[in-house]
Amino acid sequence: MVDAVKIAIVGSGPAGLSAAAHAAELGLSYALLEAEPHLSNTIFRYQKGKHVMAEPGVLPLRSPLNFEAGRREQVLSNWAHGAAQLKLKARMSSPVSAIKGLKGAFQLTLGIGGGSLQAETVVLAIGLQGNIRKLGVPGEDAPFVQYQLDDPDEYQDEAIVIVGAGDAGIENALALCGHNRVTILNRDSEFTRAKEANNAAVLKAISSGQMKCLYKASIARAEPLDGRPRGRLAIKTDTGEVTLECDRVIARLGAMPPRKFVEGCGVQFPSKDPNSVPAVSPTYESNVPGLYIIGALAGFPLIKQAMNQGFEVIEFVEGRDVEPADTPLLRAKFAEVPQWGDVNAALDYIRSRVPVLAPLTPLQLREFLLDSAVRSPPAGEVIFGRNDYTDTFFSVVEGIVEVQVSPTDASRVVRLGAGEFFGEMSLISGRRRSATVTAGPGCVVIETPRRSMNKLISSVADVKRVVDETFIRRAIQAHFAPNVPPAVLAEVVATARIERFRPNDVLFKQGEPGDCLHLIRRGSVMVTREVGGKDIVLAYAPAGQYVGEMALISEGLRTATVRAAVAVETIRLEGEPFQALMEREPSVREQVVRTYKDRLEANARAQYAQSEGNVVSFLLQQGVGEATDVLLIDESLCVRCDQCEKACADTHGNVGRLNREAGPTFKQLHVPTSCRHCEHPHCMKDCPPDAIRRSPGGEVYITDSCIGCGNCERNCPYGVIQMGVMSKQGPSLWSWMMFGRGSEPGLFEPEHAKDAAKQAAKCDMCKDLPGGPACVRACPTGAAIRVSPEEFLRVARS
């Protein structure tokens, strides 16, 4: 006899488990089918101790099962407890090999010889992890090759090769490198697919020697060996094939939709792209009536979203219309624009009006808008001003905005209309706003935080392409050709490309032919010249400047070497089309020649002032290449009174953020341990509660929402963040005298409770004090100063 149920739920990951829980809650006839002997195999196979995030944080959870951010083990325990309470009907070790039929009459075949199941409807929640990408080379299934890491502590003193430069590969490498010899293989020249926090962490581990990295490398074949090491790898690199012996290979290459199985169920895919996901309706129903798809297989990878879909799909199966959990939140965001209609109509309208958002899936657009704000400023309101330190991104949906491109000529205004965007310059460079933008008539814009926009750019290739192309065109116009029509710039824009350099990489060398120039869009570079067998630092160039024009103007060889001071992105402009542009447009040539003459004078001066170059070199070594504000102390004026430290502590509740003595010194110039307020702050890159913010004045500060996880302290390469127990106001004089409370009146006393919460503390440049940083104001001799990148050379000269 064949079993029959109303709802067959295939897969017990977050989506399927939540669907089964809601079906059990409603007393429906259902079966939860899981191929593995345990629930939630994807989460179960996370490496032990992994922190599981509950994002988006603003989204409410609808599932009957509990879910909150925490360690993998706690998440699984909570789900097991909830399943037991609901008496979930789960059939373990029951893989589904085929699904046939239509609504009301589905037949599911269970594995080999496992029988069958009839169902009126099917909810497919199988995720992607059952279709893991393998190496695709001879030896991909050798005994020393694996595709998962369960417990990093199981491996000690092994030579391990991690294949894959995404988040999973990086996290595995970081977990293993403390007690193993780890090498990570990266097909690219950088970790482009990783989250910013993982990118910072892996680069830090590589630079400190904790692990090795082979860039632009891939495995050609894997051969098992007898004994230890257990295998030999043939690795393809730019310079040829090399061999590497190791004890273990862990390949983390992601997963693809199990397309063959899904298509065998009758489900259609929108394209032949192997990474595409099935198209589903707003109620998650596929083209096969009665077959619903939820979770990662439908393109919804976040756990909370998948769990909400599990709840909602059961409601849809039962014939009830339930709006998605994020609809009330989106409705509130669209309150200023009632003319857009309901939420679904507004989403369609935005997609039709803003090309940069058109490639997003419905879920991606909803998630994007949850993080964004819809603004309708009155005509004439300043959206942001020149030199502001905001870094949000704006998309114009209706009306126009006016961009004042010249700081001295108010008549030079560029108007941007519906479908265009602005703010990408500061988003990418991390520097101050380069123009003032004012709302025009009928203006409606979407303002998106830096973190959310960067996530979108890294995850949707079409969005990245549009933003990069626009950035290139606008950067060329801003630097060389503000009055030149875009059509005249077409050849220069078409041949331009974005290049990336790691710290100390050379952009070009002294003596080479001048075949291009570089617009620096992120990071900073140092310009050096070899004189008498020594490299003399001539100049420092931050994001927003360009280098390499001297050889193009003189049509000679490079007169200096340019090297990345930190991680750098540039726009490379090819020499021939740029020289042709200068011939056609005299204004462009005049602008470049002015810069050329200024640089000739500056380089000549710097060449004969070697001490100035040495100071610049010293400052760059201390991280000022990515800084926006640095505290410096002139040791020839400092009297060691420590008034700077005392003022800092007094201003911040007796929790000092400055160590005057710590830090390096060159001649009389001292760089104390104090925050640099980096253009792309490392501390922001992995902050779970998003507690680290940047104010319009550029100050990077920590809000009270800090949970004390310590990620910022670990990610800061300059050691300027400390974790400390929170303090409280000491007793009043009366309480101290009459009742003996506290050790001394009026002081901030540390909490001594065993479980006292710790929070991160760092310099915030006293952003709330009208007089500026207390450390600088308290210095009696003027030895303490704070300087911006533009002032580094002035400091070096003085």
- Under 8 Å CB-to-CB from 561, ≥6 apart: which residues? 506, 508, 509, 510, 527, 528, 529, 530, 535
In a domain, 470, yes or no: no
For residue 174, pLDDT beyond 70:
yes
Average pLDDT over residues 279-293: 91
pLDDT score, position 752? 46
pLDDT score, position 177? 92
In a domain, 660, yes or no: yes
Is 161 found in the same domain as 16? Answer: no
Among 63, 67, 87, 90, smallest CA distance to 77 is for 67
**Which pairs with CB-CB distance under 8 Å and at least 24 residues apart come from 764-772?**
764/652, 764/657, 764/675, 764/699, 764/700, 764/701, 764/702, 765/629, 765/675, 765/677, 765/697, 765/698, 765/699, 766/651, 767/695, 767/697, 767/699, 767/701, 769/651
Mark which of 580, 608, 636 sits at the end of a domain. Answer: 608
In a domain, 482, yes or no: no
For residue 670, pLDDT beyond 80:
yes
Mark which of 268, 302, 325 sits at the end of a domain. Answer: 325
Is 443 found in the same domain as 497? Answer: no
In a domain, 613, yes or no: no
189-203, 354-368, 416-430: which range is least confident on average? 189-203
Cα–Cα distance list, 263 to 236, 293, 593 (Å)? 35, 13, 62
Please tell me which of 57-61, 222-226, 459-463, 788-792 the model is most confident about, judged by mean pLDDT.
Answer: 222-226
Confidence of residue 744 (pLDDT cuts 50, 70, 90): low
Among 405, 391, 462, 409, smallest CA distance to 438 is for 405
For residue 754, pLDDT beyond 70:
no
For residue 487, pLDDT beyond 50:
yes
pLDDT score, position 134? 87
pLDDT score, position 797? 56
pLDDT score, position 128? 78
Mark which of 194, 218, 251 sits at the end of a domain. Answer: 251
Is 675 found in the same domain as 767? Answer: yes
pLDDT score, position 1? 36
In a domain, 474, yes or no: no
Residue 737, phi then psi, degrees to nearest 5? -70, -45
Is 333 found in the same domain as 316? Answer: no
Is 757 found in the same domain as 631? Answer: yes
Residue scoring higher pLDDT (787 or 572)? 572
Confidence of residue 749 (pLDDT cuts 50, 70, 90): very low
For residue 76, pLDDT beyond 70:
yes
Confidence of residue 751 (pLDDT cuts 50, 70, 90): very low
Residue scoring higher pLDDT (575 or 129)? 575
Is 516 found in the same domain as 416? Answer: no
68-82, 86-100, 716-730: which range is least confident on average? 716-730
How far is residue 616's CA from residue 600's CA, in Å, rounded to a whole number?
Answer: 18
For residue 683, pLDDT beyond 90:
no
Is 269 found in the same domain as 238? Answer: no
Is 517 found in the same domain as 570? Answer: yes
Cα angle 790-424-719, degrees, rounded to a multiple of 5? 55
CATH code, domain with 334: 2.60.120.10
- Under 8 Å CB-to-CB from 445, ≥6 apart: which residues? 374, 375, 377, 383, 394, 395, 396, 397, 401, 439
For residue 3, pLDDT beyond 90:
no
Is 202 found in the same domain as 281? Answer: no
- Work out how many domains the chain is built from and give that number: 5
Average pLDDT over residues 39-47: 84
Is 382 found in the same domain as 242? Answer: no
Strand partners, 531: 534
Residue scoring higher pLDDT (269 or 249)? 249
Greatest alpha-carbon pair distance for the chain in Å reads 95
pLDDT digits (tens, 9 = 90+) for 382-404: 999 988 878 899 999 999 999 98
Residue scoring higher pLDDT (434 or 745)? 434
Is 629 found in the same domain as 562? Answer: no
Is 780 found in the same domain as 661? Answer: yes
Among 191, 326, 342, smallest CA distance to 252 is for 191
Number of residues assigned to the chain: 798
In a domain, 619, yes or no: no
Considering the entire predicted model, what is its pTM? 0.64
Contact yes or no for 296/256 (Cβ under 8 A): no
CATH code, domain with 156: 3.50.50.60
Confidence of residue 747 (pLDDT cuts 50, 70, 90): very low
Confidence of residue 793 (pLDDT cuts 50, 70, 90): low
In a domain, 473, yes or no: no
For residue 480, pLDDT beyond 90:
no
Confidence of residue 748 (pLDDT cuts 50, 70, 90): very low
Q: Can you give the residue range of the structural domain that contains 367?
A: 329-465
